[in-house]
Structure 1
Amino acid sequence: MNGLTLSPVFGWIISPLLAALVIAAAIGHVMWMTSRRHVDATKATYVRRILAAVTIAVMLVTPGTVRVTQSKAVNTTDVFIAVDITGSMAVADAHYGSSATITRIEAARKAVADITALYPDASFAAVGFGTSGTLDVPLTPDAQAITNWAEALTLEPTSSSAGSNLDKAIDPLLTTMKSAHDQHPDDTMLVYYISDGEQTSTKTRRTFSSLRAYADDAVAVGVGSTKGGRIPQIDSTGAIRSDKFVTDPTTKQPGVSMLDEKSLKTIADEMSGSYVHADADRTLGSQDAKTTSKDYRMANTHQDRERVVPLVWPFAILLTLLLAWEAVDWARTSRRLL
């Protein structure tokens, strides 16, 4: 909804202080003039000068109108993020920028937050993959929607898991990237693939090389450790059961999942990208944002955006008229004194 507001040109401390000083100076000037016996000023002179001071004070606090739009300037960089949501991502053997041990999915969430921060004003799409791959968030310039998606990610229940297959992200990524390329063929497209690299399915993994047709750059991000850890069970709500673990059907012992860096490096090579192991000393940063477009375009968003439009022109016109009046009055007075 549109409305009136104040947006001080020099901030909420300096602008009100300057406005108060201008008005105080005008009042002090009038009081000094009226205390003198022989002056040529009239009541109209005092009123005019007080009005001019008030007008300047109002301009300093800068009145404006609030306008709500659903458009913004969007960088022509499209970032596609795929996150592994298989049960092994619940293993608590990961680190991300600190020595604190967290689950792999928590490390993935932190990585997603860093990715959105790396590309201000870019567009993002999000894919979750496990038993199947799903486009959870279509391409959008709303980075907060991607962060919210990552925070709300739940892992696949142990009861419905049929073994992880790392290529389940290919189809939703390929379809979404092709659609984006058809609409904006000059956009720069980036892929971030976040996983522990473990494949337990007996099916042969498909190659990620098909994404090279659209991806300008790609990063495979490994979370977890090569030492590995026990896999907790995931209940039907997606909650991690820290007291129950998945049993290896072969050994009848709690199953152990380990980060497979070799697999992730191979995936990175297939996309003509690079591999990053996120750990206590390595997080996603500016060194990973090598390919970014410098162009922008206007796009509509689902999120309302408020912007303040300064409304000072009426006061500028009034001040100009008051100053012109002052100049005319000063000229008349000067002629009488000659």
Structure 2
Amino acid sequence: MTFQPIWPWWVMVPVILAAVVVLAWTAVRSRPGRAGLRGALLPAGLVVLLLLAALRPGVPGGSVRAAATDLNVFFVVDTTSSIAAEDYGNGSPRLDGVRKDIMAIAGELAGARFSMITFDSRAVVRMPLTTDASALDTLTGVLEPQVTVYSTGSSVTVARTLLNERLQAARDSHPERARIVYYLGDGEQTSGKAPEPMRVDASLVNGGAVLGYGTAEGGRMKEKANYSSTAGTDYIQDRSGGSSGDAVSRIDEDMLRGIAAQLGVPYVHRAAGDAVAPMMQAARPGALKETSESLEGRVELYWAPALAAFVLALWESLRVLRQLRQLRPAEKEVRP
């Protein structure tokens, strides 16, 4: 059995010693008899169980992949209205595929630091570099397309300046960590003019991929009324050139391949049901060492003493409540 305490040992040892001294002093001063013994053993049992849970006991078991702790991963995510086009899988919006792939990448690169930049009419850093995968999961789950009325045309490379700044800052602070960029979008340029080049310094990007979503046939896009609501029931209408009817968004793979070339990473089209492995193999930079190393796993057992402490505390709370209820009638009898 091994222990991984929630605090450093230099903190845990004094806490344990202090608890032992207090419990011993309480036991010496407790009243003799059964009631006194129970009054001393209960707090002692609770303290012992809580300290044991804090020590995080565990036993060896299984194995886990070595963590990619030396990676900074940047997700550049398209949140324009077209990312809601319903041509991913069985009529699902493209954003469903984006969410799924972001978390799949995070799972493959466990231990890395993740950041997210989204872009529509402008680019925004939604999350700075962090190792908190749960924060990335939460952010990914609430990603939504731009509000329809604000969608006045966007460029597929509008995030280039912000991405350069974030990559440069990452290199300056930790030059030893490789920087991986994943660009996720459909390549549809709606600003009415040709996009500016990405203009990302090649030395800032060590790997990654441009991931494309959508089909040549395209899909319709549901309107989004505001940022607090989900997609509505009405579809965005095509009012360009005097035409009418539901607007259709189509993937522009040539544009996406061009962005990939400018970033120096491969382009990978993504569709529902696609495996994760090919995407990761294509995106892995040659400068990073391939490894099949696995680390010895560990089965956590802290939950057992924690559960026992909860049951013990609950039992004692119920006993105290019963005693209080028994005292109420006696209190009424002594009133004049």
Same fold (TM over 0.5): yes
* Alpha-carbon distance change, 169 to 252 in structure 1, aligned in 2, over 3 angstroms: same
Please state if 1:229 is matched with 2:219: yes
Q: Is the 8 A contact 2:97 2:272 kept in 1?
A: no
1:196 corresponds to:
186
Structure 2 gaps, min length 5:
8-51, 57-66, 291-299, 303-336
Pick closer, same or farther for the CA change 1:64–1:82 going to 2, 3 Å.
same
Distance 2:188 2:268 in 1: 16
Q: Secondary structure at the match of 1:234?
A: coil
Quote the offset at 1:105 in angstroms: 0.8
Instruction: Give the alignment partner of residue 172 of structure 2, picking from 182, 191, 194.
Output: 182
Q: Please tell me whether the aligned partners of residues 124 and 140 of structure 1 are also in contact (alpha carbons under 8 angstroms).
A: yes
Distance in 1 between the 2:133 and 2:84 partners? 25
Return the offset for 1:282: 2.5
Shift of 1:93: 0.5
What CA distance in whole angstroms lies between the structure 2 residues aligned with 1:163 and 1:137?
A: 24
| Matched residue, 1:44 | none
Would you say 1:244 and 2:238 are equivalent positions?
no
Counterparts of 2:246 and 2:103, CA distance in 1? 32
Instruction: Give yes or no for contact 2:235–2:247 (8 Å, CA) kept in 1.
Output: no
TM-score (norm 1): 0.63
Residue 294 of structure 1, CA deviation = 6.2
Counterpart residue type for residue 55 of structure 2: V
Distance in structure 2 (CA, Å) of the matches to 1:133 and 1:258: 22
Deviation, structure 1 residue 65: 4.1
**Which one of 119, 136, 149 corresponds to residue 126 of structure 2?**
136
The equivalent residue for 2:75 is: 81
Is 1:94 aligned to residue 94 of structure 2?
A: no
1:117-144 residue CA offsets vs partner (Å, 9 max, x unmatched): 1211110100110000000000111122
Query: Hey, what's the Cα distance between the residues in 2 that align with 1:164 and 1:213?
Result: 27
Show CA shifts across 1:185-214 (max 9, x none): 121111000001101102331112424230
* 1:260 aligns with one of 244, 252, 257: 252
Pick 1 or 2: higher relative contact order, CA cutoff 8 A, min separation 6: 1
Higher alpha-carbon Rg: 1
Q: Equivalents in 2 of 1:289, 1:268: separation in Å?
A: 11
Contact 1:164 1:201 in 2 (8 A): yes
| Match runs of 1:311-322 below 5 Å | none
Greater fraction strand: 1
The 5-angstrom pairing of residues 264-283 of structure 1 reads 264-283=256-275
Aligned runs of 1:119-134 on 2, under 5 Å?
A: 119-134=109-124
Opposite residue 82 of structure 1, the aligned amino acid is: V
Of residues 152, 163, 174, the one that matches 2:153 is 163
**SS of equivalent residue, structure 1 residue 93:** coil
Q: 1:2 to 1:273 in 2, by over 3 A?
A: closer
Partner of 1:54: none
Q: Distance in 2 between matches of 1:64 and 1:161?
A: 52
Name the aligned partner's letter for residue 177 of structure 1. L
Q: 1:215 & 1:124 partners in 2: Cα distance?
A: 14
SS in structure 2 at match of 1:111: helix
Distance 1:163 1:117, change over 3 A: same
CA change 1:144–1:288 in 2 (3 A) is: farther
Gaps of 5+ in 1: 4-62, 68-72, 296-305, 309-338
CA distance in 2, matches of 1:148, 1:141: 13
Once the two structures are superposed, residues 62-119 of structure 1 have per-residue CA deviations (whole angstroms, 9 ceiling, x without a partner) of x57437xxxxx87111100011000111111013xxxx33111111000111110121
Matched length: 231
Check the 8 A contact 2:74/2:115 in 1, yes or no: yes
Larger mean CA deviation between 263-272 and 273-282 belongs to 273-282
SS in 2 for 1:245: coil
CA distance in 1, matches of 2:221, 2:91: 15
Q: Report the secondary structure of 2:159's partner residue.
A: helix
TM-score, scaled to structure 2: 0.63
Deviation of the 1:164 alpha carbon = 2.0
Residue 183 of structure 1: how far off its partner (Å):
0.5
Q: Is the 8 A contact 1:77 1:293 kept in 2?
A: no
* Runs of 4 or more consecutive aligned structure 1 residues displaced over 2 Å after TM superposition: 63-67, 242-249, 280-286, 291-295
Match of 1:148 among 138, 149, 162: 138
For 1:81, give the aligned amino acid.
Answer: F
Sort the Cα spacing of 1:284 and 1:173 in 2 relative to 1 into closer, same or farther, 3 A: farther
Equivalent residues of 1:66, 1:307 under 8 A apart = no
Quick one: structure 1 residues 183 and 228, their matched pair in 2 at CA, closer, same or farther if it must change by over 3 Å? same
